[in-house]
Structure 1
Amino acid sequence: MLATDSQSQWIWQNPFPQGNNIYSVKMFDQNNLIMCGKNGTIVRTTNAGSNWKITRIPSGEYLSSMYFIDSNTGFVVSSSNSEIHKTTDSGETWTLNSSGLASSYERIIFINEQTGYACGGGGIANGVLIRTTNGGSDWNVIHTHTSRFTSVSFPSPDTGYVIGHNQTFFKTTNAGANWTSLNIPISNLCMHFTDVNTGYISGNSNANVYKTTNSGNNWTSQSTSAGGSIEDIFFINQNRGWVTGSTSAYSLTTNGGTNWFHFSTGATSDFHSVHFADPLNGCIVGENGKTLITNNGGFIWENLSRGSVSALNNVWFMNSQTGFAVGWLFTVLKTNDAGATWNSIAYNNFSNITLNSVFFTDQNTGYTVGDTIYSPLRGTLYKTTNGGTNWNRHYRTQNGSRFRDVYFLNRDTGFIVTSSGVLKTTNAGANYQSVSGSFDLNSITFITPQTGYCSGRNGVVIKSTDGGSVWTNVATNTTFDLNDISFADANTGYAVGYPDAICKTTNGGINWTTLSAGTFDFRYYSVKFMNAHSGIVTAGRSPGASKILKTTDGGTTWTTDDFYTTELMLSTFFTDGNTGYISGTNGLIIKTSNGGLTFTGLHESVLPESMRLHQNFPNPFNPKTVISYEIGNANFVSLKVYDMSGKEVTTLVNEMNNAGRHEVEFDATNLPSGVYFYAMRVNGLLAGVKRMVILK
């Protein structure tokens, strides 16, 4: 399965194919469907979910409804602004056909190629109904009311209905020239008429549907047993219909609502929209992008979405392929294919724990830390020795401290960052001792086996120069909470927090200056710099806003990498200068392969694809690893290793090579633990840079 995003440097990896809420869906046949939702999201597939295409209407925000006249021509409206967009190429591109009103819209329908209706409210009235008679080029108001309209239906060119809040219901029999108010039993959200006489409505109070057979003059209640409030109704003919809604509510009828049958979809999401192409092939969509299809009329559903929707507080990779993400309710996700798929792995039923950080010292041995969700609050360390399949509680605080970050220098020496200081182990977690004052800390990083930093509450940054045995406080000139810290080299580091707090040092923490990215009401959650000048910061404001901020001049100026989500982005990890991952709320994991961050100012040249530098294996390693590369023709090749400061450590290759694949062993016996880089040049042009980790 593949999902592509045509408008972003970042792509969804979890949930898959994307995680924004979906509010409306149109299914053309068993293979083709298109849907729209939060943050201007448009999602399409032409092969029943084997591949997905994601596009966006940047100003769309909440795309609440879509309607297609045919497979090419469709319209979409927003409940957050007055824009109406039109496509004539099956949703590939969209053009603005504004209503010219200060209203927003809940539902749009067309009765033919030229005539359509949209309802909502705002601007001139709380309830607004507009109409076009020229294919969406112009729109005119034909009805208003004091309550917001939520749905409109025209079962014939002349007879139409509009419903809304506060038990609002109107009927027209002359194409909207005049409207008559009728009584209904509920405040409505959704409606569907199968002909001018027969229709169905439902609200948000229970799972009942109300049916009329005399044009809305009388209504009878039908229990759907759906298990939640109904948000959408769809009938393919007079007899067969479906309802869906909150708490995975779903039911179907085959006899015009006389009987409704509730079936489990196997999903737990709230559903917002249902549509069928024919009596057998249909789709329901909802929260966090959940998408299900059926080819047997709704008796059995196939989930086209995958992935966890638990908040993911931390993402971490041990090499270019294998990574982990941890979070709420002891969620542990693992990937072995650079994030193409993320799988939940066993967690021994520690369901009352939220995990904050994860770190592995080799392919099998890893640690994760977190806190109990309920009182008493206790920080706990868990350890795995089989690559994350099983986890055992390894250490628990006795003083109620929260455990926020974990870091290991080698297999034996590691640290836990807590709300009351730093804990250190020298025996792979068997015992821990406090090695700092009672600082309330959030994050830890080491730039060498001797030099490390922690950031925390009230602007605190502490530093160690002896491998983490002694820590001293360094002044940052801020009292804001600092959530994360990143050092590009021995001198240049950045710490970020709230509000609009970016602190920078260029002399190893002796002095700090305060920078601003101009997002004064945002909290900065994570920071990553790959060199002294180029880095990213994730920023968020709850509820409703997230940003990826990027600088290439050491924080003097910042730009925004557009990624349209309102999920908070809590953690950042880069495996090399271009490949990075961000995790966050509701299962968010996104990836960039062109992050633009380059090691020590080196920029890769445009070279044939036959020239390729591969990730070393194993990684992390001790003391030896193998680096492989390929060249398409005989060329002069150099392969050098650098430390974090950019200082050359050793030259592995510096000679003519024949075409083909080559391997070289790197022996790090005489080097300390830490992060290193290796760079390949072909005829003097930089062909690739990779990151590797020595763990002793």
Structure 2
Amino acid sequence: MSKLSNQSLKSILIIILFAVISVIALISINTVNITTGDITSPPPAEDSVYSAFQSYKMQMRGDDPSKKPTEWFTLSRAYPYEQIPHQAYLRALNQAVAVRNATMNTDQFNAIPAGPTNVGGRITAVAVHPDNLNIIYAGAALGGVFKSTDGGSSWVPISDDVPSLSCGDVAVDPQNPDTIYFGTGEANSSGDSYSGTGVYRSTDGGVTWEFLGLPNSHHVGRIAVDPENSQIILVAAMGKLFGKNPERGVYRSSDGGATWNKVLYLNDSTGCIDIVINPRNSDTVFAAMWERIRKPDYRSVGGLSSGIWRSTDNGLTWNKLTNGLPPDSPTNGRIGLAISPSNPDVIYASYVDHPGNLMGIWRSTDGGNSWQSRLVSPGTSSFSGFGWYFGQIWCDPGNANTIYLGDVSLWKSTDGGQNWNTIGDQMHVDHHAMFISDQGNFMAEGNDGGFYISTNGGNSWNKCNTLPITQFYAITIDQLNPQRLYGGTQDNSTPRTLTGALDDWDVLFYGDGFYTIVDYTNSNIIYAEAQYGYLGKSTDLGYNWDIIFTNYSHGERTNWMTPVVMSPHNHQVLFYGAQRLWKTTNGGNQWNPVSPDLTGGSGGGNLTYGTITTISQSPLNADVIWVGTDDSRVWVTTNGGTNWNMVSSSLPDRWCTRVTADVYQQNTAYVTFSGYKQDELLPHIYKTDNLGSSWTDISGNLTDVPVNDILPDPDIPDRLYIGTDFGCYYSDDGGNIWQVMGSDHPIVPVFDIDLHQNQRILVSGTHGRSMYLFDISSTGVEEEPELITADFRFNKNYPEPFEQQTTISFEVLKSTHLKVKVFDVNGRLVETLMDQPVNPGEHQLEFKAQGLASGTYFLSISSGYHQISHRITLIK
């Protein structure tokens, strides 16, 4: 329950809208103190907690350093099976797309981008227009394809109409640059994204898309368009990640993607990860084949079938290359390929072994007939144990001896691979994609932290701070300062904004981020955690941290995403979920277990099964506490943890994602589940009115989609909100009918939602497209509050709505520097009307809308820390 005093709904929401637009027997815990680094710089090696965290990560990995990233994403959706049923996923996804399209422009809520744009997320593909370096395409792991027409300064999502936003590769037709190919399904063997749905093409620069087939290719490693014949397209298909299937290898189309032939196939566990075409003789093609498979308790990233193949007839027939290359071995893993545009006889291959160390770099100078080992420098010999996650190599188009290698760091050699140095050390780690211009000066690079550009051959790099592709696990709103948003993310720790601006986020803590809690009595007190429940506390707004709970120091099993919640009754009380429920009554200084093992025991494998996944204390009765586990168990106590009742015998055997205590009745709770149905009906949402003695399915008309969170509206008794793998939904009748929430919200997983009651704001934390805000205030005509700050008062704009132009009227109350700007609904600047010192008095500005499309725009007026925003409507 919010502790805020009642304020005007719209006045606070307007501040947030402007910010959107503008850019843990009694045990004592030993604490360690740290200072948070900035958003781009890695923490110093001598930092005590950073060192402690690195040690912690290695203990979590045990003898398997390749546990990065985790299989949590897939396993939570596949449980109790080994893999997600692909056809069930495709069917549900198509249904969700159809429902969204049917409600376009008619749904009650608008999704407003909330950022961050300057934190970033995993980039998996980069493509650039061959004749215009300002036109760039970036593919995000679960965010789809973005396009920039100004050299990376601003970006627009262009693939939101494609069912899958999991990006494997993006390719531009070199003869027809407006033709773009989008291969869905990330191919980096990352367990935290969905399979793809096939290959798509746009012939108008990304405005519209058509499906070209290959829906069971699952993960696309590369798309290569013949530079001499646009009708010939080659696709590297990796196939299933968590299983075997025959739809893998090299596919070829000779009719522009209308039909496909599988031209290179080895077996049902070997796919193609990379393809390069000789730029001067497109009959010569090279393909890297990779044998790999992942299971819940096993990962094989190498095999006898891994190797390099060559075609000399434009991909119709293939021969395996062996002369000088590593001999067949069960440890041969991922292979990356690069061919020199300036001397196509020079080809490079990077080899990674099983379990993921770099085997070496090989080079051919005779078109692949023979190969020589080149890597002799130390430092690049390990890939940190998960080279299967990178495994790519690139060659400078103008210099056959200059090559780059993607790793945790980015490596460069200027002597054909004999000696190596790191470059771009100021960039985020884990490098996946690169483009190099013909002259070698302009470079575009994608990694786990976003998109970077160099204009001096890699000597320095600039991050693009306008890409909303952060992958959130959990989010929270500061209840005292609702413009302050926090969240834990994949690869990018715990970002937060203090101002609410899209591009004004910094990063707290370390590792991958998960639950974050802001004390509802003191915004300076923050709790944040890294993977497997590495929990920290800050009392100075996140600048310094104490570690207050770790699982390995207590012998507890914890989940990749360990739940931590604060009691709504006492801000000093927190609950932490391992296999037992832990409680602190003094803000994390000491902890007690308040339950036995509430799971079925450890399941083993890469994920520590047998853990609590969700905790909820009734806001009406502190003795009523609910928990759910990753092996489908739901428990409740009515005496604060002295006794526990398992109440899930009639519930599905699926991963329990959330239990939420009701805000109206203490005996009522809601529970949600992940997973997809196999042959049986699989509801995903249940409600109890009798402390779990019985449950009612309230999935209603909801499609077969994993549901990750549920919140009852504290002001509207029958309204419920849910976050699902296909976006957000709401119900106004207690779950009988579910409706899409924001048809402009992309169809991406939403792992967490949060609500600010007083200000009627709902926040969606997506795993791939950052955050979105929803205004959930009651509908109806309301008198708009006076828009006034200490520096100025906005009077009105007239006419409103307007057709050609509108006059903006405001009063300056004291001399100040005023900025007046207009933005579109995606947060892009349309026009700056004023940016100058102004004196007190009445002022007017004219906004002329020539060349703009009809729709909603936002007028922002700001001076220093004072800011307002006003919605204006253009009608033509």
Output the amino acid matched with 2:453: I
1:336 equivalent among 483, 498, 506: 498
1:88 equivalent among 203, 206, 209: 203
Q: Which residue of 2 aligns with 1:529?
A: 713
Aligned: 1:483 with 2:658 = yes
Contact 1:496 1:524 in 2 (8 A): no
Cα distance in 2 for residues equivalent to 1:77 and 1:329: 23
CA distance change for structure 1 residues 159 and 421 in 2, over 3 Å: closer, same or farther?
closer
1:197 equivalent among 327, 345, 357: 345
Output the amino acid matched with 2:178: N
CA distance change for structure 1 residues 43 and 486 in 2, over 3 Å: closer, same or farther?
farther
Task: For residue 296 of structure 1, report the CA deviation from its aligned partner.
Answer: 0.8
Output the amino acid matched with 1:515: I
Cα distance in 2 for residues equivalent to 1:209 and 1:503: 55
Contact 2:793 2:812 in 1 (8 A): yes
Q: Which residue of 2 aligns with 1:678?
A: none
Task: For residue 630 of structure 1, report the CA deviation from its aligned partner.
Answer: 7.2
Cα distance in 2 for residues equivalent to 1:353 and 1:182: 40
- State the structure with more CA Rg: 1
Aligned: 1:13 with 2:173 = no
Q: Which residue of 2 aligns with 1:285?
A: 446
Output the amino acid matched with 1:529: D
Aligned: 1:74 with 2:180 = yes
Cα distance in 1 for residues equivalent to 2:529 and 2:21: 33
Contact 1:159 1:196 in 2 (8 A): no
Q: Which residue of 2 aligns with 1:170?
A: 310
Q: Which residue of 2 aligns with 1:322?
A: 484
Contact 2:170 2:223 in 1 (8 A): yes
* 1:443-467 residue CA offsets vs partner (Å, 9 max, x unmatched): 345657x788532245344569xxx
CA distance change for structure 1 residues 2 and 240 in 2, over 3 Å: closer, same or farther?
farther
CA distance change for structure 1 residues 275 and 302 in 2, over 3 Å: closer, same or farther?
same
In terms of fraction of residues, the more strand-rich structure is 1
Task: For residue 276 of structure 1, report the CA deviation from its aligned partner.
Answer: 1.6
Alignment of 1:96-495 (within 5 A): 96-98=211-213, 105=220, 106-112=222-228, 114-121=230-237, 127-132=249-254, 136=256, 138-139=258-259, 141=261, 143-146=263-266, 148-149=271-272, 150-157=274-281, 159-165=283-289, 166-172=306-312, 175=314, 182-184=321-323, 185-186=325-326, 188-194=335-341, 195-205=343-353, 206=358, 208-223=360-375, 227=380, 228=383, 229=387, 230-239=391-400, 241-253=402-414, 260-277=420-437, 278-287=439-448, 290-304=450-464, 312-318=473-479, 319-325=481-487, 333-338=495-500, 340-341=502-503, 343-344=505-506, 356-362=515-521, 364-366=523-525, 368=527, 382=537, 384=539, 386-391=540-545, 404-407=564-567, 409=569, 414-418=572-576, 442-444=614-616, 454-457=625-628, 458-461=633-636, 483-489=658-664, 494-495=669-670
Task: For residue 111 of structure 1, report the CA deviation from its aligned partner.
Answer: 1.0
Output the amino acid matched with 2:266: T
Q: Which residue of 2 aligns with 1:623?
A: none
Q: Which residue of 1 aligns with 2:761?
A: 579
Q: Secondary structure at the match of 2:127?
A: strand
Contact 2:117 2:503 in 1 (8 A): no
Output the amino acid matched with 1:203: Y
Alignment of 1:507-518 (within 5 A): 513-516=696-699
Q: Which residue of 2 aligns with 1:687?
A: none
Output the amino acid matched with 2:137: I
Task: For residue 128 of structure 1, report the CA deviation from its aligned partner.
Answer: 3.2
Contact 1:329 1:355 in 2 (8 A): no
Cα distance in 2 for residues equivalent to 1:33 and 1:97: 22
Cα distance in 1 for residues equivalent to 2:536 and 2:287: 55
Cα distance in 1 for residues equivalent to 2:581 and 2:115: 35
Cα distance in 1 for residues equivalent to 2:145 and 2:493: 29
Contact 1:233 1:274 in 2 (8 A): yes
Contact 2:404 2:411 in 1 (8 A): yes
Q: Which residue of 1 aligns with 2:671?
A: 496
Task: For residue 470 of structure 1, report the CA deviation from its aligned partner.
Answer: 11
Q: Secondary structure at the match of 2:150?
A: coil
Contact 1:118 1:152 in 2 (8 A): no
Task: For residue 41 of structure 1, report the CA deviation from its aligned partner.
Answer: 0.7
CA RMSD of aligned residues (A): 5.4
Cα distance in 1 for residues equivalent to 2:650 and 2:435: 53
Q: Give the number of the structure with larger relative contact order, counting CA–CA contacts within 8 Å between residues 6 or more apart.
A: 2
Task: For residue 605 of structure 1, report the CA deviation from its aligned partner.
Answer: 3.6
Cα distance in 1 for residues equivalent to 2:287 and 2:277: 9
Task: For residue 294 of structure 1, report the CA deviation from its aligned partner.
Answer: 0.8
Output the amino acid matched with 1:535: L
Cα distance in 2 for residues equivalent to 1:2 and 1:207: 48
Contact 1:274 1:283 in 2 (8 A): yes
Task: For residue 283 of structure 1, report the CA deviation from its aligned partner.
Answer: 1.0
Cα distance in 1 for residues equivalent to 2:693 and 2:319: 76
Aligned: 1:45 with 2:228 = no
Contact 2:483 2:500 in 1 (8 A): yes
Cα distance in 2 for residues equivalent to 1:176 and 1:430: 62
Count of matched residue positions in the alignment of Structure 1 and Structure 2: 591
Task: For residue 12 of structure 1, report the CA deviation from its aligned partner.
Answer: 6.9
CA distance change for structure 1 residues 296 and 275 in 2, over 3 Å: closer, same or farther?
same
CA distance change for structure 1 residues 49 and 365 in 2, over 3 Å: closer, same or farther?
same
In terms of fraction of residues, the more helix-rich structure is 2
Aligned: 1:64 with 2:163 = no
2:736 equivalent among 539, 543, 556: 556
Cα distance in 2 for residues equivalent to 1:353 and 1:82: 28
Q: Which residue of 2 aligns with 1:675?
A: none
Task: For residue 275 of structure 1, report the CA deviation from its aligned partner.
Answer: 0.8
Where do 5+ consecutive residues of structure 2 fail to align?
A: 1-19, 24-100, 105-109, 186-194, 240-244, 290-305, 327-331, 599-611, 675-682, 799-809, 814-876
CA distance change for structure 1 residues 514 and 99 in 2, over 3 Å: closer, same or farther?
closer
Contact 2:253 2:261 in 1 (8 A): yes
CA distance change for structure 1 residues 25 and 269 in 2, over 3 Å: closer, same or farther?
farther
Task: For residue 153 of structure 1, report the CA deviation from its aligned partner.
Answer: 0.5
TM-score by length of 2: 0.55
Q: Secondary structure at the match of 2:456?
A: coil
Where do 5+ consecutive residues of structure 1 fail to align?
A: 540-544, 618-625, 635-658, 663-696
CA distance change for structure 1 residues 576 and 244 in 2, over 3 Å: closer, same or farther?
farther
Contact 1:487 1:493 in 2 (8 A): yes
Output the amino acid matched with 2:149: T
Cα distance in 1 for residues equivalent to 2:589 and 2:462: 48
CA distance change for structure 1 residues 529 and 216 in 2, over 3 Å: closer, same or farther?
same
Q: Which residue of 2 aligns with 1:33?
A: 136
Contact 2:352 2:360 in 1 (8 A): no
Task: For residue 193 of structure 1, report the CA deviation from its aligned partner.
Answer: 4.2
Contact 2:394 2:404 in 1 (8 A): yes
Output the amino acid matched with 2:517: V
Q: Secondary structure at the match of 2:374?
A: strand
Output the amino acid matched with 1:496: V
Task: For residue 297 of structure 1, report the CA deviation from its aligned partner.
Answer: 0.6
Cα distance in 2 for residues equivalent to 1:239 and 1:549: 53
Aligned-pair identity in percent equals 13
Contact 2:626 2:637 in 1 (8 A): yes
Q: Which residue of 2 aligns with 1:603?
A: 779
CA distance change for structure 1 residues 34 and 431 in 2, over 3 Å: closer, same or farther?
closer
